[in-house]
A and B are shown apart, each in its own frame.
Chain A
Amino acid sequence: MALNIIVCIKPVPDPQYYDKVSIDPQTKRITREGIPTIINPVDKNGIEAALQLKKTYGGKVTVITMAPPNAVENLREALAMGADEAVLLSDRAFGGADTLATSYTLAKGIEKIGEFDVIFCGVESADGATAQVASQLGEWLGIPHLWNVFSLENLEEKTMRVKTKIENGSMEWEVNLPCLFGVARQLNKPRFISAMGIIKAKSKPLATWGKNDLIVEDARLGLTGSPTKAGEIYTPDLRRKGELLSGPLDEIVDTVIEKLRTAGITIRTASTSCSAGEGGA
C-alpha cells in the first residue's frame, strides 16, 4: 500500500530571535532584519512523520508551501531531509493572506498535485501562531482532520488510529484516509540532514506555481480573500520596576518570604515554628 503523503511547511523567522523583532516607528511595519528564515520548527515533525510513514508503507512525500520565492531554500532543506518532491506556491496575488485565504490556496495547490492519502501540517507557526491553517485546509479539501496529534499508529485498511492532546489528557480516534493531521512536537524527533541528503536534494523536482497554474477563484486569494483585516500594531509595554535586592543571600531570601506574605501567601517558616516552640517552653 503505497501512500501519497503531503506535508505543508511554512518558512518563519527563527523564533530564537523574536526578542529582536520590533516595529519601525516611521513605517509602522514590523522589522525583523537579520533574523534567519527557517522551516517552522513543528513543521519538521510533520516532515518526519511523513518520512516514517513512507518508510513503512512506501510511497511518495511531497512538501508544499505558500511563500515568497526565497522559500526555495526551505523547500530544499525539506528535500534534504528526505522528501521526494517540493512545490512552491508563490504569486503576488497570494500576499496578505489570512488563514482562510492561505488554507484555500494550499488546498488548490494540493488539488493540482493530485491524489493524496495523508496530509501533515505543524500545529501552529512560530510567528503568527494562529494554529488555524491545518483545520481550515482540511475543511477546504473536505477531508477529516485532527489537530494536536501526538501519536499515530496501526494503519490498516485505510484507517488509522490517532491520539490528540486535550486539556489534561488525550483523545483517541479512528480516521479514514484521506485525512489531515496537525501534528504536535511530541509526535517524533525530526531527523538531521545528512551530507548525502543535501546532494540528493539538488536533483529532486521543485516546482513553482503561481495563480495562473492553479484553478482558483481570484476573490478567495490573498488580501482580497481574507475576511480578517489588520488594524494597528504595537509592542506591549511589560516593564516593571525591577528593584534589585542586594545584601547577604540569606537576608535576601528572608525578604522574598516577607514579600510573598505581603502578597497574601501563607508561609510557615522554620524560624516561626521554632520561636513558637521556644515560647511554649
Chain B
Amino acid sequence: MKNKIWVYAEQVESALDRVTLELLTKARDLAKALKGDTEIAAVLLGKNVKRLCETLADYGTDVIYVGESDALELYNPILYSRLITDLVKQEDPDILLFGATAIGSELGPTVAAQLKTGVAAHCVDIRINEKGLMVASVPSFGGKILGEILCPDNRPQMASVKPGIFLQGEKEPKEPAIHWLDTTELQPEKLSLKAIRIERKALAGVPLDKADVVFCGGYGIGTKENWDKLETLASRVGGAAASTRPVVDEGWAPGEEVMVGTSGKSIRPKAYVGFGISGATHHVCGMKDSGLVISVNKDDKAPVFEVSDFNIVADATKVLDLLMEKIQ
C-alpha cells in the first residue's frame, strides 16, 4: 500500500505561506525515509487559489486536493476543518503536517480532535524511525528540553511546525493530479462563527524572517532610543531589527511581530548581533540557527555568551553608538 504524506497548504489572500514550501521539502525527506511507494499531497483551500497549484507542483506534490469557493475566501475554522477532516477520513493519509502559524495552530488541533488523533506541536525536527513511524521532536520549558512525540496507533500522525524551522529546498517539479473538492454545499452565513474581514499590516523594510542580518535588542538596551538605533542600523545594511519579549512589553519595540523566540519568530539569518540579551532559553530557541552570532552584554556571566560565537562585554548603548557612527 502507498504511504501518504499530506501537507496543509496554507494561503491567506491567495498567497501561500512560506511554511508550506518548508513542509513540502520536509515531506520529500520523509518520503525517502519511508519504505515503499510514497505519495505527497497538498490540501489547498480558499478562493482564487488554483494558480497556487503551480508552486505546489514545483515543490514535488503528486496530488493536490483543491477546495475553491467564494465561501472559503476568508479562513473559517468550522468550514476549513470539516473539509479537511472529511477528506482525511476518505483518503486515510499516514502523515498530516500543518504550519504552526496563527491559522495552522488552530486548524491542526481542531482537525485532530475531530479525527481523535494526536498532534506533535511546534516540532523542531521530524524523522521516520525503524518501524516506519513518524518521530517528532518538540520543545518544552521554553526550548530547554526537547522531547520526542510519537503517534503509534492513530492516523494520521500529525505535526505542526513553525515557519523558519525547516529549510525550503530546491524545486523538484512534478505534474500532480488535481482533485477538486465538492464545495457546493458550503453555507458560511449559516454558521455560528462568521469571519467578517481580514486586515493585514504593510510591513516596512526587510521582513525579519528574510533578513540576512538581524540586530536584536534585549531588556538590557534600556531605552526606546536604543531600539530606534537598532532599526536604523538594520535599515542601513538591509537587515532587520528584532527583540525579546521584555522589549515588546516595555513598548520600545513596535509589537510581537519583531519578537524572536518560542512564542515569537524562528530566524536563521547569516548574522545575528544581540544587544543586552541575557540569553533566556525562550529567546535562544528562536535564534539558535543563525549563522554568525555576536553578543554584547555588560554582564560577563550572561548565559547568552555560551551560545554565541563572539562575545563583547560592554554597555550596549556604547557599542550601538559606535556602530551608528561607523556604519553608513
Q: By DSSP majority rule, is chain A's interface helix, strand, loop, or mixed?
A: mixed
Contact B325 A129 (CB under 8 A): no
**Complex contacts, B303 vs chain A, CB 8 Å:** 19
**Complex contacts, B78 vs chain A, CB 8 Å:** 144
**Complex contacts, A18 vs chain B, CB 8 Å:** 141-142, 144, 280-282
Q: How far apart are the CA atoms of A161 and B317 in the complex, in Å?
A: 44
CB-CB nearest in chain B for A178: B192
Query: Which stretch from B24-32, B37-45, B145-153, B224-232 is at the chain A interface?
Result: B145-153
Scoring A residues 189 to 200 as 1 if CB is less than 8 Å from chain B, else 0, what string do you get? 000000000000
Q: Which of B106, B116, B149 contacts A230 (CB 8 A)?
A: B149
Query: Which stretch from A49-57, A63-71, A262-270 is at the chain B interface?
Result: A262-270
CB-CB nearest in chain A for B211: A265
Q: How far apart are the CA atoms of A257 and B74 in the complex, in Å?
A: 46
**Complex contacts, B105 vs chain A, CB 8 Å:** 131-132, 147-148
Known interface pairs A100-B116, A170-B198, A242-B308; A233-B121 also in contact (CB < 8 Å)? no
Q: How far apart are the CA atoms of A169 and B103 in the complex, in Å?
A: 12
A164 in the interface (beta carbon within 8 A): yes
Query: Which stretch from B46-54, B57-65, B235-243 is at the chain A interface?
Result: B235-243
Q: Which of B12, B198, B237, B314 contacts A266 (CB 8 A)?
A: B237
**Complex contacts, A143 vs chain B, CB 8 Å:** 192
Query: Which stretch from A76-84, A86-94, A221-229 is at the chain B interface?
Result: A221-229
Contact B146 A234 (CB under 8 A): yes
> Which residues in window 192-231 of B have CB below 8 A to A?
192-201, 203, 212-213
Contact B101 A253 (CB under 8 A): no
B1 in the interface (beta carbon within 8 A): no
Q: How far apart are the CA atoms of A270 and B147 in the complex, in Å?
A: 49
B14 in the interface (beta carbon within 8 A): no
Interface residue count on the A side (C-beta < 8 Å): 89
Contact A238 B288 (CB under 8 A): yes
Q: Which of A32, A126, A235, A254 contacts B146 (CB 8 A)?
A: A235
CB-CB nearest in chain B for A163: B199
Contact A249 B306 (CB under 8 A): no
CB-CB nearest in chain A for B155: A227
**Complex contacts, A135 vs chain B, CB 8 Å:** 77, 106, 109-110, 113
**Complex contacts, A256 vs chain B, CB 8 Å:** 273, 294, 310, 312, 319, 323
Q: Which of A13, A132, A171, A252 contacts B197 (CB 8 A)?
A: A171
Known interface pairs A240-B307, A269-B326; A228-B150 also in contact (CB < 8 Å)? yes
Contact A231 B147 (CB under 8 A): yes
> Which residues in window 104-124 of B have CB below 8 A to A?
105-106, 108-110, 112-114, 116-122
Known interface pairs A171-B197, A235-B144, A240-B306; A166-B101 also in contact (CB < 8 Å)? yes
Q: Which of A98, A103, A243, A267 has the most CB of B within 10 A?
A: A267
Contact A229 B305 (CB under 8 A): no
A244 in the interface (beta carbon within 8 A): yes
- Size category of the B interface is 35 or more
Contact B325 A270 (CB under 8 A): yes
B266 in the interface (beta carbon within 8 A): no
CB-CB nearest in chain B for A257: B326
Contact B310 A259 (CB under 8 A): yes
Contact A146 B106 (CB under 8 A): yes
B16 in the interface (beta carbon within 8 A): no
Known interface pairs A139-B114, A169-B200, A238-B307; A260-B273 also in contact (CB < 8 Å)? yes
Contact B194 A173 (CB under 8 A): yes
* Nearest chain A CB to B204 CB, angstrom units: 12
Known interface pairs A100-B113, A241-B309; A232-B200 also in contact (CB < 8 Å)? no
Known interface pairs A169-B200, A256-B323; A145-B135 also in contact (CB < 8 Å)? no
Q: Which of A168, A233, A265 contacts B270 (CB 8 A)?
A: A265
Q: Which of A165, A175, A232, A267 contacts B102 (CB 8 A)?
A: A165
* Nearest chain A CB to B151 CB, angstrom units: 5
Contact A259 B152 (CB under 8 A): no
* Nearest chain A CB to B118 CB, angstrom units: 3
CB-CB nearest in chain A for B17: A167
Known interface pairs A19-B144, A169-B201, A263-B270; A253-B322 also in contact (CB < 8 Å)? yes
Contact A228 B113 (CB under 8 A): no
Q: Which of B257, B271, B281 contacts A263 (CB 8 A)?
A: B271
Contact A265 B141 (CB under 8 A): no
Q: Which of A19, A144, A146, A262 contacts B281 (CB 8 A)?
A: A19
Q: How far apart are the CA atoms of A124 and B105 in the complex, in Å?
A: 10
B55 in the interface (beta carbon within 8 A): no
Contact A270 B328 (CB under 8 A): yes
Chain A residues within 8 Å of B, Cβ to Cβ = 13, 15, 18-19, 21-23, 30, 32, 98-100, 103, 124, 126-132, 135-136, 138-140, 143-148, 161, 164-176, 179, 182, 186, 226-236, 238-245, 249-250, 252-257, 259-260, 262-271, 273
6 tightest Cβ-Cβ pairs between the two chains A and B:
A231-B148, A227-B118, A228-B118, A169-B200, A139-B113, A132-B109
Beyond the given A124-B263, A130-B121, could you list 11 further A-B residue pairs with CB under 8 A, ordered by the A residue number? A128-B121, A136-B110, A166-B101, A167-B103, A170-B198, A171-B195, A174-B194, A176-B192, A179-B192, A228-B149, A260-B213
